[in-house]
């Protein structure tokens, strides 16, 4: 069953008629081929129109779509010989951030990413992709290891944000995020980050201060969720669509602001309609950037990464 978003209602109606017609065709000898072709073309045109001018708040919903490919799909589709590595060596294994070694297009890489989980049980297990300090500390451990063995790091960003809880605060949530950013900017191996869903604030930048930051076409990346921003600045959470607009959260905005380096196009109708194609496109882009970064002088590479962030926003 396809899950439709509110703004996809006209698409849903059309596609339901198509499905009905397909069932009718299966049952009898009625020739509906012409009608089906016509309706399919109409649906495609409609999707193209709707997705061609998604508003920031609509993109926010697409970025959070339950069928959007997750970290585990990227691992499954892109990484061979994957070996998951667990634990921060201090307190726990936080599965809101998953990581491990594997091969991307033949190259040994350290892969780290947020996992939101699927289904009620999965979402609870992965805490909806909201990491506690141990998640960031695991990421630090894996990045340091990658650095030691000259293995490039690839991160997949998809989180509503760092977990706001008593336990997380007690164990130093802020310090863990700060150290993770510090680590991203300290390692001397290539670091490529892909914002594939929601780039939620500090929880995102913790594994996102990279040489190259790629972003899926309908992903969002923001200092605060539109809901949180609306409740702080508008004092009304129903102003989230306005906040999404004002915050400039879309890939096109961020490319223009110099915060990301490349937009990875999504299949027609969004990543959730064709997960495998999306995963492959992201893999192609990440692979291309890893190729470009390979063989660079480690010190020069790190200095370039630091300069990029030091200069960010100055030239707007």
Partner 1 sequence: MNWLTNTVLPKIRALGAKKEVKDNLWTKCPACAQMVFQRDLDAAQRVCPHCGHHMRLGAKARLEMLFDDAQWTRVPVPDVPMDPLKFRDSKRYSDRMKEARARSESPDAMTVGLGRIGGHPAVVTVQDFAFMGGSMGLAVGEAFVTAALKAVSERCPLVVVTASGGARMQEGILSLMQMPRSTVAVQRLREAGLPYIVVLTDPTTGGVTASYAMLGDIHIAEPGALIGFAGPRVIEQTIRETLPQGFQRAEYLLEHGMLDMVVHRHRLKEALARLIGLLTVREQVQAVAEIDIPEAAPTAN
Q: Which residues bind partner 1 (CB under 8 A)?
A: 162, 164-166, 168-175, 177-179, 181-182, 184-186, 201-202, 204-206, 209, 221-224, 228-229, 232-234, 242-243, 246-249, 253-254, 257, 259, 306, 309-310, 312-314, 316
Residue 154 φ/ψ, nearest 5 degrees: -125, 130
Tokens standing for residue 152: 């490039």
- The distance of closest approach from Cβ of residue 265 to partner 1 in the complex, given in angstroms and rounded to an integer, is 21
Residue closer to partner 1 by CB (options 23, 314) is: 314
Both tokens of residue 264?
């990875």
Minimum Å gap between C-beta 222 and partner 1 is: 6
Between 255 and 274, CB nearer to partner 1:
255
Of 214 and 243, nearer to partner 1 (C-beta) is 243
In sequence order, the 6+-apart residues with CB closer than 8 A to the CB of 46 are 10, 11, 14
Cα 120 from chain centroid? 20
Cα 301 to Cα 108, 194, 262, 307: the distances in Å are 19, 19, 19, 10
* CB 101 within 8 Å of CB 133: no
CB nearer to partner 1: pick between 162 and 196: 162
Q: Tell me the closest approach of the beta carbon of residue 76 to partner 1, in angstroms.
A: 30
d(CA 233, CA 222) in angstroms, rounded, equals: 15
Query: How many other CB atoms are found less than 10 A from the CB of residue 121?
Result: 9
Which of 201, 278 has the CB closer to partner 1? 201
Nearer to partner 1, 2 or 256 (CB): 256
CB of 166 to partner 1, least distance (A): 6
Nearest alpha-carbon partner for 250 in 221, 272, 225, 224: 221
Shortest Cβ 167–partner 1 spacing (Å): 9
Angstrom distance (rounded) from CA 303 to CA 70: 32
Does residue 224 sit in helix, strand or coil?
coil
Using the minimum distance from each CB to partner 1, give the nearer residue, 206 or 279: 206
DSSP state of 55: -
CB of 312 to partner 1, least distance (A): 5
Q: Which residue, 136 or 156, is less far from partner 1 as judged by CB? A: 136
Instruction: Write down the least CB distance from residue 204 to partner 1, Å.
Output: 8
Q: Which residue's structure tokens are 């585990």?
A: 72
Q: Cα angle at 199 between 198 and 201, to 5 degrees?
A: 130
- Residues 2, 184: Cα–Cα separation, whole Å: 38
| Smallest separation, CB 287 to partner 1 (Å) | 24
Two structure tokens written together for 262:
């490349």
């Amino acid at each position: 069953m396809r899950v439709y978003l509110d703004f996809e209602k006209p698409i849903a109606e059309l596609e339901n008629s198509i499905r009905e017609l397909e069932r009718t065709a299966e049952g009898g000898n009625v020739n509906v081929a012409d009608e089906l072709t016509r309706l399919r073309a109409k649906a495609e045109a409609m999707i193209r129109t709707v997705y061609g001018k998604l508003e920031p708040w609509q993109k926010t919903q697409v970025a959070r779509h339950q069928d959007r490919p997750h970290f585990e799909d990227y691992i499954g589709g892109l990484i061979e010989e994957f070996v998951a590595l667990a634990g921060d060596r201090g307190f726990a294994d936080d599965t809101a951030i998953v990581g491990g070694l594997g091969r991307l297009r033949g190259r040994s890489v350290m892969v780290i990413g947020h996992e939101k989980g699927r289904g009620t049980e999965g979402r609870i297990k992965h805490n909806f992709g909201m990491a506690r300090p141990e998640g960031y500390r695991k990421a630090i451990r894996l990045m340091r290891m990658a650095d030691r063995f000259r293995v490039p790091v690839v991160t997949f960003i998809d989180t509503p944000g760092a977990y706001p809880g008593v336990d997380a605060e007690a164990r130093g949530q802020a310090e863990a995020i700060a150290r993770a950013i510090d680590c991203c900017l300290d390692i001397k191996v290539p670091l490529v980050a892909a914002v594939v869903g929601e780039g939620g604030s500090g929880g995102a930048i913790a594994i996102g201060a990279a040489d190259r930051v790629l972003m899926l076409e309908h992903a969002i990346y923001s200092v605060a969720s539109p809901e949180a921003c609306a409740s702080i600045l508008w004092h009304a959470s129903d102003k989230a669509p306005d906040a999404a607009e004002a915050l400039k959260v879309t890939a096109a905005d961020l490319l223009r602001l110099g915060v990301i380096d490349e937009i990875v196009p999504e299949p027609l109708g969004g990543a959730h309609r064709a997960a495998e194609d999306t995963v492959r496109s992201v893999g192609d882009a990440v692979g291309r950037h890893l190729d470009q970064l390979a063989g660079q002088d480690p010190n020069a590479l790190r200095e370039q990464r630091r300069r990029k962030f030091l200069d960010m926003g100055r030239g707007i």
